[in-house]
Chains A and B, each alone.
Chain A
Amino acid sequence: MNSRQNFLRFLTAFGVVLLASGILLPRRYNFNYPATLGPVFDARVKGEHLQGIQQSRPSFVLLGDSTLYEGVDPALFAEGLGMPVYEMATPGSGTAAWYLQIKNIILESSHRPKYVVVFFRNTMLTVPQYRTTGRYFALLDDYATKNEPLVSELAFVNPMNPVERFAEQYLPLYTARVEIRDDLDNAIRYLPPRLFGCNRDCANEAVSSIFGREVDPVALNLAQEDAAKTLYAQEELDFQAQLETSLLPHMIALTQKNNVNLIFVRTRIFGPEPEMSAYRNSLDAYLTGQDGVFLLDFWQDPRILEEYYVDSLHMNALGKKEFTKILIEEFKAILLK
């Protein structure tokens, strides 16, 4: 076979694929050239927490991911402080979701809490793109309004390299990749079970039953440590460089403007971490230099023991109780200030 001929035939076929997709996809998925950079959010904001805050009228609203959910007992915390507490733990969330929760839920509420507490670890606060794509996008969309230019820019457009930006705007196969994958995934997932009388709901229920099942802690640990590697990329450890492209200053500005105190809680983890003392020191200096911002640092707190954890990140029932008690003491000190 002639190598050159092979390549030319491929180029022709690929050209046809690109041309066909260029004509068909914008019609099917309703976009124009150049396509808009960044995500398309729907206008709906999940109202559950807004109502929750308005009803419970908390002094503290706790924000964080599954480590908050597994690590803090809100009832015990409220009892210990003698003040109402509302927990908004969202497993799988990151800074982009927390920013949106502050902006579109907490500050939109008719009741304004005195403190917003954000539970974070390692470089999460300065990596806005962490947990924003794929299955995390739906979670983010729950808290986004139709128009979120800041999140769109910092969490989606900024991290793109020039090739991605070009592809996103001018290559329909790339622009519509999420929708095409969804359609393909749905076709593969739902069509064959239908042959056996199992409709869409039946297939969904079956699959979600295994995806929601109890997981093996050792395997989960490995998966979590694998996922955390994105937070430890070399560029993410450069605090000064990351700060201006992060949502952290905007989060602080929003709360300052609305007279809400912001408390950041750095949780302890028991997985491998890179050497990041320079990052940590810069972040600490930055946070403690802001009005109305407090930092509680537990990353090496000897009171928090490894036996309190089920994996490198999440606490067990004992850990949840003990950590909540420790938090109460620390918060009391802040309240005295």
Chain B
Amino acid sequence: MAFIGFEFLIFFLIVLALYWLLPNPGWQNFLLFASSLIFYGWLASWHGAILFASILVDFLLALGMARWRNRSVFLMWLGIILNLALLISVKYFAYYNETLAAWSMQAGFAGDVFLTTILLPLGTSFYTLKKISYLVEVQRGTLRPQPDFIAFGAYAAFFPQVFSGPIERPQAFLRQLQEKRAWAADHFYNAWPLTLMGLFKKIVIANTVKVLVDQIFLMKEPSKVFLIVGGLGFTLQILADFSSYTDLSRGIAFLLGLKTAENFNTPYLALTPNDFWNRWHISFSSWLRDYIFFPVRRILLRVKHLPGIFSQIIPPLLTMFISGVWHGTGSTFILWGVYYGILIIIYQTLGIRGEAKSFKRFFLWLAMFAFIVFGWMIFRAGSLSWLWNALMAPFSRASNDLIAAFVLLVMISFYASLLFSKHLLDVYAPKKISLHALYYALAAGMTIVFMNSSSPDFIYFQF
């Protein structure tokens, strides 16, 4: 079930109405858990069954960790391995999908290789990371294991986040699930701008720019000018697309009286690669930082006689490699991850920290923006050979190339300006209510105009 659709609207209105009619947090959590399983298993009920089973296993492992402290490390690793095995099997090995489908048919569910291949990986990437962070925090003793299975299930399977994040940390969210929640007008006032912006970014910007970007990346032999325009277009598309999903997810959570994590903070204004990852997909990058980067660095620092350079190079490289692998199965994703690892190392080695002012700051931003765009070119390319050919191609192949590239660039710039003008409003006129109201009204009007013209899938669904 996609967020943008009549089916989801009906589903959510029913859940919302029931949710606020229920008398206590226990029942509300039960509704959240049950509706999340329905949402996830909408097309194939056994997907919901897999999610339920994996949640149950992690719940029991966490309780086991608290009970047998001397075996908590073993239990944590068991949980991590099981989660990763599920993630890797559904994401990387097609034959596992066939086996899973066959098992599900034997178990009486409607098994389907197609659904497994396409749909099961959607979301698995997100909820496994949530559950791993829960297991690690419980093992570290920074979080008490949740004794209420329903509350834990509502956290792990929370439907606004199950397909595309944010990767919510357990501490804050589980605390909210234990508290009494009553309807307040503020829930709505917090939700509507996020929901509106989510729809606007997805329907008006991302879906429209996607058509242009797809066309460029479909070319067999693009000239360099098209690669540049396509890269710029995709830079806009992926931000609008992914952040729209986060906005919708947060808006829906607010309507349920729950505050969830922010995921973006003007990432394209970053001055360094570290800065970029602190602003882009924040919930994922902070997950990587806390559960991969720091632990690896700590381990390397503890190794005696190991040259210091290793503890400088290996953590960012490994972290970004894992980030690439997590994002997709192709070699382009791995290269994209390694590319960021190398960038981080270079910036660190050169001591560039993004603390410059005025003129130098502008050049730092420009360089980083160019690196980001190039990164997205790697990410979006169909294959490494395609990317290589495009990079080696002449700047333009035909006389029309420059005109066509200019036309596409103008179109992309127009849609970028819609997003940029919101940023200018937020920064330079945060208190001008009427200007904001006008922007939102025009955004709502444009959303109506652009509705029902493109496919409703989100880019980050495939992760």
Contacts and interface: CB of A to CB of B under 8 A. Distances in A.
Interface of A: 1, 3-7, 9-10, 12-14, 16-18, 21, 133-134, 161, 163-164, 167, 171, 173-174, 177, 180-181, 184-185, 188-189, 192-193, 196, 198, 202-203, 205-207, 209-211, 213-220, 222-223, 226-227, 229-230, 232, 234, 272-275
Contacts of A167: 448
A7 B214 CA distance: 37
A283 B357 CA distance: 69
Interface stretch (B159-167, B237-245, B271-279, B435-443): B435-443
B contact face: mostly helix, strand, loop, or mixed: helix
Given A16-B441, A173-B448, A275-B112, A6 B436 contact: yes
Contact of B189 (A4, A211, A234): A4
Nearest to B390: A216
B453 to A, nearest CB: 6
A294 to B, nearest CB: 28
B118 A272 contact: yes
A216 B220 contact: yes
B217 interface: yes
B440 A13 contact: yes
Interface in B169-191: 185-186, 188-190
A10 B440 contact: yes
A180 B448 CA distance: 11
B292 interface: no
B410 A189 contact: yes
Nearest to A225: B118
Given A177-B453, A229-B118, A229-B455, 18 more contacts: A1-B433, A7-B189, A9-B436, A13-B437, A13-B441, A17-B444, A134-B453, A161-B6, A163-B6, A177-B448, A193-B407, A193-B410, A205-B400, A216-B218, A219-B218, A274-B112, A274-B115, A275-B111
Contact of B440 (A14, A177, A205, A222): A14
B114 interface: yes
B449 A188 contact: no
Contacts of A203: 403, 407
Nearest to A210: B404
B291 to A, nearest CB: 32
A230 B456 CA distance: 10
B192 A7 contact: yes
Contacts of B440: 10, 13-14
Contacts of A275: 110-115
B70 interface: no
A273 B400 CA distance: 39
Interface string B370-414: 000000000000110010000000000010110110111011001
A101 to B, nearest CB: 25
B455 A226 contact: yes
B226 interface: yes
Interface in B182-224: 185-186, 188-190, 192-193, 214-221
6 contacts: A6-B436, A188-B410, A196-B406, A214-B219, A215-B218, A230-B455
Contacts of A188: 410-411, 414
A209 B6 contact: no
Contacts of B403: 193, 198, 202-203, 206
Nearest to A214: B220
Given A3-B189, A209-B400, A222 B382 contact: yes
A268 B437 CA distance: 54
Top-8 shortest CB links A-B = A3-B189, A13-B441, A9-B437, A206-B403, A274-B114, A161-B6, A206-B404, A14-B441
Contact of A5 (B221, B226, B433, B455): B433
A179 to B, nearest CB: 10
Nearest to B411: A188
Given A9-B433, A134-B453, A234-B43, A218 B382 contact: yes
B434 interface: yes
B220 A14 contact: no
Contacts of B99: none
Contact of B449 (A163, A180, A189): A180
Nearest to A134: B453
A3 B407 contact: no
A216 B382 contact: yes
A10 B407 contact: no
A223 B382 CA distance: 11
Given A7-B192, A215-B219, A174 B448 contact: yes
A315 B226 CA distance: 28
Contacts of A181: 449-450, 453
A163 B5 CA distance: 11
- The winner among B115, B218, B400, B410 for most chain A CB atoms within 10 A is B218
A230 B452 CA distance: 13
B304 interface: no
B249 interface: no
A215 B382 CA distance: 12
A207 B407 contact: yes
A232 B114 CA distance: 10
B457 interface: yes
B441 A17 contact: yes
